[in-house]
Amino acid sequence: MNSPLSSIPAPISLPERTADTGTFAHLFRVGKAYLTFFKTGFSSILHNYKSTRALQDLADEHGLSALVASARITRSEYQHLIRARHDVIRLPAFGLIFIIFGETSPFILPFVPKLVPYPCRVPQQLSRQRRLAADKREEAYRTLAAEPTREAAAKELNELSGTEVAHVSKVLGVDSVLLPLKALRRLRVGRRVEYLSLDDTLLQRGGGAEALDSGEELLMAAQERGIDTFGRKEREIRDALGNWEKVTKAVGGIKPGVWLLKPENWAQVAK
């Protein structure tokens, strides 16, 4: 069910400053702690890449959809492969930032979050990303929120207007000022739907959202489904994922129209 721990950030322990510790000495210790964290992250990325090669070859030969349909892949393997792909693509740009800025990289990374591989994301960056994502979703739903009906939730991608696609892309966090073209925005939403459809199939085979590990694994699953996690307790997040399972089952699968509704209305539509 859960991807290997090497695919998520390792714990980081930052030194506390004492009264007799100078500013320079404290910053040096903090920088050293971050350096150790990033080295661990780099090692994890290389390990994940090597350990998923056989699975990638299988996916290249048969396609991920076929592997999921034939139950030849578990959710743990699926997520391991997806995250390894994600990280390897970002490694060159991230490595360049790390080489240029060194121990000051943590101060730069929050401004380029999408360039950072998963195992190298520090807690402050993750918290900031989730807070900003929650703010963007709130703004999106203030602008556009459909009536909580099953008809709205069941809308397919080709049934959504340009305004609705823009809304869904903001809720999912796949929108980008660098890709303003409507066709590209629609493509990104479609890819997220395809990815989640496979992930949901594997998730249900493994016992559903309740089988997800606490912490980062749970938070990532919720964020990817347009569910706010910032400042929320674990039970609230699991309940929201439970409502996600109910509404997608009610409308016959993952439909982009689900994100036209506020997550707090999912359970109402699923009745």
* Three-class DSSP category at 149: coil
Q: What pLDDT score does 265 carry?
A: 95
Average pLDDT over residues 56-83: 97
**Alpha-carbon dihedral angle through residues 129, 130, 136, 141, given to the nearest 10 degrees:** 170
User: What rounded mean pLDDT belongs to the chain?
Assistant: 91
* Three-class DSSP category at 11: coil
Candidate from 32-36, 204-208, 216-220, 225-229 with smallest mean pLDDT: 32-36
Q: What pLDDT score does 180 carry?
A: 60
pLDDT surpasses 60 at 243: yes
Q: What are phi and psi of 173, to 5 degrees?
A: 75, 25
Q: What span, in angstroms and rounded, lies between the C-alpha atoms of 129 and 218?
A: 16
pLDDT surpasses 60 at 179: no
pLDDT band at 122 (very low <50, low <70, confident <90, very high): confident
pLDDT surpasses 70 at 79: yes
CA 173 vs CA 147, 153, 227, 240: distances in Å: 22, 19, 11, 18
Question: How many other CB atoms sit within 10 Å of the CB of residue 247?
Answer: 25
Question: How many other CB atoms sit within 10 Å of the CB of residue 106?
Answer: 20
Q: What are phi and psi of 212, to 5 degrees?
A: -75, 140
Candidate from 44-58, 91-105, 238-252 with smallest mean pLDDT: 91-105
Q: What pLDDT score does 98 carry?
A: 80
Q: Give every CB contact of residue 180 below 8 A, 6+ residues apart in sequence.
A: none
Q: Domain boundaries in the chain?
A: 1-121, 124-271
> For residue 244, which of 214, 216, 220, 265 has the smallest C-alpha distance?
265
pLDDT band at 25 (very low <50, low <70, confident <90, very high): confident
Q: pTM score, two decimals?
A: 0.91
